Chains A and B, each alone.
Chain A
């Protein structure tokens, strides 16, 4: 055989690739049983390989945890060359980056302000803290405590509707005395929106539009083909805010208690009189701030409430414990966010060349801090896949910007930590635990209406939570 013939064969073999693996999107990973990762091959030393196409797959959307585990154990800083980014997956590394507000900017410049407008999200250092403090203080501490009565009232009003046959929120079967409802539709979708609207000082008619603004602005941030719709939603929000701002600049608005006393000014009124650099904020700037709150304040808390009830109902002994001990709702809320948060993680961009876990990352790279993975880091939480509201390694008291790591207890990462710690953390905590506590006092014998729930690949058990929140949670219950 000639040299040319030998070479021809060598070349043919070298370029021969399985049709499946040639392009990126036609490859479909099989759906695996829960807790199991698809075997993506091993290197010469037996270390599992990691195929970046998994991030685009349905399997990953459904259940990302086994894959993050591979990354945590073998590639704590993983360079994904297909999506041109890095994934940071261990708790301690993520915390380190979050605290270093200057070394790691938040999301890459230009990735959200094209829709939301200029917000604190893309700022660092003093510029960031100034903007954040404009309204951040109205969501915490004493200002928040004053609002709690109003939050309870909102929850009770919504729950009243369940027992009002006209509302259509529930289905009632007189034969058994049981109600059936979808918790999202009947409560969790709306409740956080009502709270946020009240805090902002939006009139009631804004509620109907809230979801529209939220959905399209958030979709628009992702770029893709939604950007245009996002911009339209942003414009619609600005038109709406504009009319309110004109009014509030002249006459601030206050939340009133039952006796008609002024409890606290709403955030829009507050922003209207805020002076920055010697000038009041423009409507455009106020809208940007509100756009960010609209984006952060609804869907996240909805997810936390649904996931919490779902997980508790799947662990009846823990449900029992909460029902008998009201303060445990705090632990349940935090354990839910640790176990199944509704936000996967945050993008960061490193200001300087850095070396993390032996991986050199050039300045300006996109680094995903995977909060999901931090919350399931075996190095921090024992048996992390287990939902256990009584676990003794999770800190679930007052949320701290500095984080908490003492006496074997650590805060979860679902709100982030450091300068960008979610400013809505306290209020969403109140919504989640107060709302649920009130609910638990008005209904009994609650169970998941399994027959109505989305099924997993096996067609029998319930679909796992996976990325984000479950879509629907069907409950059956009796009135208290």
Chain B
């Protein structure tokens, strides 16, 4: 028996163009194929419109097609869920660049975040300190009956937790935090911020130099000591490595996620009631927040080679902006994508491992939490992934808040909103005034 592979099964249909004399090359076909002009002007993606409400612009882009070439910003935007996740997990074709690279300081220190002793110390430290720090922070305002959850809770909790796990004395924390934030804000396009950030990095190096020596001589139960005693190839760990490790890590995502989660719960009181009554839903509220209002709007990837994807030829070196915010509201993936629904049935409720889907369900995308663990199962000798740790910590902090308050609600006349302070920065709620009665 032989199959006839050769003959076409469908008759070639003559198209209008075939009547015309001359031939049409592929490029002409490509040009004719282009439909209506894009509904978004490139510059618009860097205006206040986008910083305030990215979702409307991104929906336009999503409906327009799989990709959008931003000529002004020399970037390719993608906004469809399956496209975005396909790039984020494709490290063979797309590379990330470190914050130090953006600083122009690619050789400043070494990023030690992938060393197991560091990961173990970090996980242990967070597990140990998170409940304590959460309680302390909530107690500071619990008696008052009013608070601003954005500034007094979401913004300070991650910093204080960072200080405790790393072993930075409480007394130094405000000064440390000021430098730390300056450093984290500086790697983007704004030159003045970048200058300030570079200064902060040097100040942090001077700060850590004696502290690191002290920990090496007398190790404590903290991340800094784990770094001080870490043995790796190459020269001994010094303060530059510590600062590089700090810089590449990030606490802002937790800050943004907590603020956004409470923003969403407080503006959806029926869901807040539900969560308060069934505490196991806190975790689901967090996961839905990462989908509905990711604090990190997009991830940037650079093409390692020329690839043809999303209807475009993407040249080597091209910047691909993976719009998490666009993908998370993809109507073809999530029903009622614009609605905040705690415990929604079409969102994966556990950590997706090695991809963005588990149990056949998609997860919300929040780039800074890292791609989901690349290990399909938890490898022996390694702690939980940062994704899981952050989720648990957010849950712990929120529990502490619910435990200390009754009748938590938005302050009268409060109209909180989400916005970014600058292009490429956290998209979150900056003021969230609430009232409650103390328990």
Q: Which of A's residues lie within 8 Å of B, judged by CB?
A: 2-15, 17, 21-26, 40-41, 43-44, 49-52, 56, 79-85, 108-111, 113-115, 117-118, 222-228, 231, 234-235, 242, 246, 282-285, 349, 359-360, 362-366
Q: Assess A21 versus B174: contact at CB under 8 Å? Given A7-B156, A222-B71, A224-B71.
A: no
Contact yes or no, B423 A82, CB < 8 A: yes
Of the candidate stretches B31-39, B215-223, B350-358, the one touching chain A is B31-39
CB distance from A56 to the nearest CB of B (A): 7
* In the complex with contacts A10-B178, A227-B37, A234-B31, A3-B173 CB distance below 8 A: yes
Ordered by A's residue number, 30 sampled pairs between the chains whose C-beta atoms are within 8 Å are A2-B140, A3-B160, A7-B155, A7-B156, A7-B159, A7-B174, A8-B152, A8-B155, A13-B178, A14-B177, A17-B421, A23-B51, A25-B43, A25-B47, A40-B192, A44-B195, A44-B199, A108-B318, A109-B315, A110-B315, A223-B69, A224-B42, A225-B37, A225-B38, A235-B31, A282-B22, A283-B22, A284-B23, A284-B28, A360-B106
Residues of A within 8 A of B7 (CB): none
Q: Which of B317-352 contact A (CB under 8 A)?
A: 317-319
Q: How far is the CA of A351 from the CA of B102 in the complex (A)?
A: 20
Q: Given A3-B170, A224-B42, are A14 and B181 neighbors across the interface (CB < 8 Å)? A: yes
Of the stretches B54-62, B72-80, B283-291, B389-397, the one at the interface is B72-80
- At the interface, yes or no: B19 with Cβ under 8 Å from chain A? no
Whether A52 lies near B317 (C-beta < 8 A) is: no
Which chain A residues lie closer than 8 Å to B66 at the CB level? none
Known interface pairs A22-B422, A51-B191, A81-B102; A115-B31 also in contact (CB < 8 Å): yes
Give Cα A227 to B32, complex, Å.
12
Instruction: Give the interface SS of chain B, mostly helix, strand, loop or mixed.
Output: mixed
Residues from chain A with a CB closer than 8 A to the CB of B48 are 22-23, 25-26
- Alpha-carbon distance A2/B144, docked complex (angstroms): 14
Chain B residue nearest to A25 in the complex (CB): B47
Judge whether B137 is part of the interface by a CB distance below 8 angstroms: yes
Closest to A361 in B: B317
Contact A4 B422, CB 8 Å, known A11-B159, A44-B199, A224-B41: no
B27 touches A117 (CB 8 A): yes
| A15 close to B191 (CB less than 8 A) | no
Partner of B189, one of A9, A80, A362: A80
A315 and B199 CA atoms in complex are apart in Å by 49
Closest to A5 in B: B140
A83 to B319, CA, bound (A): 11
Contact bitstring B132-163, A, C-beta under 8 A = 1, else 0: 00001100100000000001100110011000
Q: Are A4 and B137 in contact (CB-based, < 8 A)?
A: yes
Contacts of A83 in B (CB 8 A): 72-74
B374 at the interface (CB under 8 A from A): no
The reply to whether B47 and A223 form a contact with Cβ atoms under 8 Å apart is no
Distance from A407 Cβ to chain B, minimum over Cβ atoms (Å): 39
Kindly state the interface size class of chain B when it binds its partner.
Answer: 35 or more
Q: Is A81 a contact of B189 with CB atoms below 8 Å?
A: yes
Residues of A within 8 A of B81 (CB): none
Kindly report which residue of chain A lies nearest to residue B305, judged by CB atoms: A364
New A-B contacts (10) at CB < 8 Å, excluding given A44-B195, A227-B37, A364-B303: A3-B173, A4-B137, A4-B156, A5-B140, A15-B421, A15-B430, A110-B312, A118-B27, A224-B71, A227-B34
Most buried by A among B23, B102, B159: B159
A4-B152, A79-B104, A283-B22 known; A84-B34 Cβ under 8 A: no
Q: When the two chains form their complex, are residues B73 and A11 in contact, meaning their CB atoms are under 8 A apart? A: no
- Contact (A22, B303) CB under 8 Å given A4-B152, A349-B315: no
A-chain residues with CB within 8 Å of residue B74 when the two chains form the complex: 83-85, 366
Contact A4 B174 (CB under 8 A): no
Taking CB atoms, residues of chain B closer than 8 Å to A85 are 74
B residues less than 8 Å from A349 (CB atoms): 315, 317
Q: Do B51 and A4 have beta carbons less than 8 Å apart? A: no
Does B30 sit within 8 A of A, measured CB to CB? yes
Q: Does B110 contact A (CB under 8 A)?
A: no
| B188 interfacial contact with A, CB 8 Å | yes
A366 to B159, CA, bound (A): 38
Cα A17 to Cα B190 in complex, Å, equals 12
Tell me the bound Cα distance from A85 to B316 in angstroms: 14
Q: Which residues of A contact B25 (CB under 8 A)?
A: 118, 282, 284-285
Q: How far is the CB of A292 from chain B (nearest CB, A)?
A: 14
A115 to chain B: which residues have CB within 8 Å? 31
Taking the nearest CB of chain B, how far is it from the CB of A456, in angstroms? 26
Residues of B within 8 A of A21 (CB): 190, 192, 422
Cβ–Cβ < 8 Å partners of A10 in chain B: 159, 174, 177-178, 181
Interface residues of B in 153-204 (CB under 8 A from A): 155-156, 159-160, 170, 173-174, 177-178, 181-182, 185, 188-192, 195, 199
Flag if B24 contacts A284 (CB, 8 Å).
yes
Residues of B75-113 whose CB lies within 8 A of A:
75, 102, 104, 106
| Shortest CB distance B64–A (Å) | 12
B46 contact from A12, A24, A246, Cβ within 8 A: A24
For A52, give its contact among B34, B189, B303 (CB under 8 Å). B189
B34 and A231 form a contact (CB under 8 A): yes
Task: Point out the residues of chain B lying under 8 angstroms from A6, CB to CB.
Answer: 173-174
Contact A82 B177 (CB under 8 A): no
Q: Is the CB of B160 within 8 A of A4?
A: yes
A94 → B minimal CB distance (Å): 19
- The smallest beta-carbon distance between B404 and chain A, in angstroms, is 14
A11 close to B177 (CB less than 8 A): yes
CA distance A111 to B70 in the complex (A): 11
- Closest CB in chain B relative to A268 CB, distance in Å: 15
* Residue B10 at the chain A interface, CB threshold 8 Å: no
B313 touches A (CB below 8 Å): yes
Contacts of A365 in B (CB 8 A): 317
Cα distance, A184 to B190, chains bound together (Å): 41
Q: Which residue of A lies closest to B430 (CB)?
A: A15
Question: Considering the chains assembled together, what is the distance between the CA atoms of A235 and B47 in angstroms?
Answer: 34
Compute how far the CA of A293 lies from the CA of B47 in the bound complex, rounded to whole angstroms.
Answer: 36
Please state if A110 and B313 are interface contacts (CB–CB under 8 Å): yes
Question: Which residues of A have CB within 8 Å of B303?
Answer: 364
Q: Which residues of A contact B21 (CB under 8 A)?
A: 242, 246
**CA–CA, A386 to B173, complex, Å?**
56
| Bound-complex Cα distance A22 to B104 (A) | 22
Which A-chain residue is minimally distant from B25 (CB atoms)?
A284
Cα–Cα, bound, A67→B318 (Å): 27
- Given contacts A23-B422, A84-B73, A364 and B140 within 8 Å (CB-CB): no
Contact A109 B313 (CB under 8 A): yes
Complex contact B23–A24 (CB within 8 A): no
User: With an 8 A cutoff between CB atoms, is B208 at the interface?
Assistant: no
Q: Say whether A284 contacts B22, CB under 8 Å.
A: yes
**Nearest CB of A to B236, in Å:** 26
- Once bound together, how far apart are the Cα atoms of A423 and B207, in whole Å? 60
Q: Are A7 and B173 in contact (CB under 8 A)?
A: yes
With A4-B136, A15-B181, A15-B430 already in contact, the answer to whether A82 and B159 are too (CB < 8 A) is no
Chain A residues within 8 Å of B318, by CB: 108, 364
Chain A hits for B190, CB < 8 A = 21, 51
A56 to B45, CA, bound (A): 14
Nearest B residue to A246, CB-CB: B21
Q: Given the complex of chains A and B, what is the CA–CA distance between A22 and B50 in angstroms?
A: 12
**Residue in contact with B71 in the complex, picked from A23, A49, A223, A284, CB distance below 8 Å:** A223
CA separation between A44 and B201, bound complex, in Å?
14
> Which residues from chain A contact B421 at a C-beta distance below 8 Å?
15, 17, 22
Q: A11 near B155 (CB under 8 angstroms)?
A: yes
Residues on the B chain within 8 Å of A52, using CB: 189, 191
Contact yes or no, B181 A51, CB < 8 A: no
Contact A25-B106, Cβ < 8 Å, known A43-B195, A84-B75: no
A81-B38 contact, Cβ under 8 Å, with A222-B71, A283-B22, A362-B317: no
What is the distance, in angstroms, from A134's C-beta to the closest C-beta of chain B? 17
Once the chains bind, are B42 and A282 in contact (CB under 8 Å)?
no
Residues of B within 8 A of A8 (CB): 151-152, 155-156
A83 to B75, CA, bound (A): 8
A8 to B190, alpha carbons, bound, how many Å? 24
